[in-house]
Amino acid sequence: MTTAPPSTVSLGDRFARELPEMALPWQAEEAPDPRLLVLNEPLAAELGLDPDSLRSGEGVRLLVGDAVPDGAHPVAQAYAGHQFGGYNPRLGDGRALLLGELTGPDGQLHDLHLKGSGPTPFSRGGDGFAAVGPMLREYVISEAMHALGSPTTRALAVVATGRPVYRETALPGAVLARIASSHLRVGSFQFARSTGDVDLLRRLADMAIERHHPAAASADNRYLALYEAVVAAQASLVAQWMLVGFIHGVMNTDNTTISGETIDYGPCAFMEAVDPDTVYSSIDSGGRYRFGNQPLVIEWNLARLAEALLPLFADEQERAVEIAVEALKGFRPRYGAAWAAGMRAKLGLPEGLDDEATTALADDLLALLQAGHVDHTTFFRALGSAARGDADPARNLFLDLAGFDAWAQRWRALAPDGDAMDRVNPVYIPRNHLVEEALDAATAGDLEPLGRLLTAVTRPFEQREGLERYAAPAPEEFGAAYRTFCGT
């Protein structure tokens, strides 16, 4: 096996060079005793990295930022952001670093980024570190989202640092090595805009066009085309969250990407019993980021992006505002179409069925699911059997049998395809109780439950013998009262 030493991993410094105003050269804090907990071998291979050499001592030191390849210039990125609606002009990487950009075998650029790598000038009173549990949570959930077919940042590895971090108690520290198509966020644009430097804003927008939305480059108004592309990407992304029952938990503008990838898996969780008011995050006491509010929140965040881009839309402010308002109107139809298309697939219905009919049928179903406190994931998977003639697994989830029967009659009349449904309705999602179980065990040194959970959720559509408990809803105490913690 060839083992190219990690020092030969080639990392670009394009962000640092082209946007120095937003890039603070910085180093990771040395890890006293780095130990690799989990390495994503398929992802490493996709990126053209050699998994064996990443497992070596030098590879692990690269994954915590101790050994940086020649030519790389790690930086803490500056960004601003609205957190729970309140604007903070200076957030930035308070416990993270962009090591640099990897070029994949396909020529695509990917950020190699570390989370938990130590304090930076953006730490604002935080310690700059992260604990094993939350970094493994991001690993599990982002890889599950990827397997579900949703655009997301990826987790390359989690390395325990050997340094305790102090939260309510002392916890083992860790660094997550993350891959993203970039770390450009709505908050990056808010930062650039707030400097008043329109040239910086333009360079940032040009980078976003080149890296994520290259078709915008040939439009008459390229910055408007960039904005419309971000609106479309985020509309599609959040529709996917809603279809799979994902609750991000902290949809601040600094956690909203320009690429349309889900980023920053903090107090996130999957909804079990259908209820739009579901909130799991302990820091979201007002329910701003509850399940059913996510489309409205992303629209709000996109309005903040439009405000930041105003000087690029048109010279005259009034005209720029008109352009922005008009462009944001594109969000709702795009979101509605993406959601309806996804629902059509979940219900096994033909593509020709129009959005209005799909949405009416789906809304009636969701009302029944909510009234019956039915588990979202279990139901949609069971409904595939109903399409094949065995209604019991889905029907038995309801107390209101007549309500379900009446709905199912309308649905069956449309000739649903059960096998097609099985390809889009997962058996396995990272259920909250299983995630907690795996993280608790890993924190105590036992990685086996984590491995089993990953086995289930990285092939979510393939039902397998022996994994029954990974398909079952949580016990009562993990239901509506369950809370996730930010884990900062």
Annotated catalytic residues are: 254
As given in the structure block, the two tokens for residue 74 are 């790690």
The yes or no reply on residue 95 touching ligand AMP (CB under 6 A) is: yes
When the beta carbons of 250 and 439 are compared against ligand AMP, the nearer one is 250
Between CA 26 and CA 71 the distance in angstroms is 14
Judge residue 27's burial from the number of C-beta atoms within 10 Å of its C-beta, 0-12 exposed, 13-18 middle, 19 or more buried. middle
Whether 23 and 116 have beta carbons less than 8 Å apart is answered as no
Candidates 193-201, 255-263, 405-413, 469-477; binding stretch for Mg ion (CB under 5 A): 255-263
Between CA 115 and CA 126 the distance in angstroms is 13
The yes or no reply on residue 255 touching Mg ion (CB under 5 A) is: yes
When the beta carbons of 253 and 425 are compared against Mg ion, the nearer one is 253
Taking the complex as a whole, the smallest distance from the CB of residue 92 to ligand AMP amounts, in Å, to 6
When the beta carbons of 81 and 348 are compared against ligand AMP, the nearer one is 81
The yes or no reply on residue 264 touching ligand AMP (CB under 6 A) is: yes
> What count of other Cβ atoms lies within 10 Å of the Cβ of residue 189?
28
Binding mask 124-143 for ligand AMP (x = CB under 6 A): --xxxx--------------
The yes or no reply on residue 94 touching ligand AMP (CB under 6 A) is: yes
Taking the complex as a whole, the smallest distance from the CB of residue 255 to Mg ion amounts, in Å, to 5
Residue 165 contacts by C-beta under 8 Å, 6 or more apart in sequence? 127, 129, 130, 131, 171, 172, 173
SS (H, E, C) 412-459: HCCCCCHHHHHCCCCCCCCCHHHHHHHHHHHHCCCCHHHHHHHHHHCC
User: Residues 101, 138, 264, 422: which binds Mg ion (CB under 5 A)?
Assistant: 264
The yes or no reply on residue 182 touching Mg ion (CB under 5 A) is: no
The yes or no reply on residue 89 touching ligand AMP (CB under 6 A) is: no
Q: Which of 455, 418, 19 is nearest to 208 (CA)?
A: 19
Residue nearest to ligand AMP (CB): 126
The yes or no reply on residue 91 touching ligand AMP (CB under 6 A) is: yes
Which partner from the list ligand AMP, Mg ion, none does 4 bind, CB cut-off 5 to 8 Å by kind? Answer: none
> What count of other Cβ atoms lies within 10 Å of the Cβ of residue 468?
10
When the beta carbons of 80 and 424 are compared against Mg ion, the nearer one is 80
**Contact footprint for ligand AMP (CB under 6 A):** 91-96, 122-123, 126-129, 250, 255, 264, 266, 486, 488
**Contact footprint for Mg ion (CB under 5 A):** 255, 264
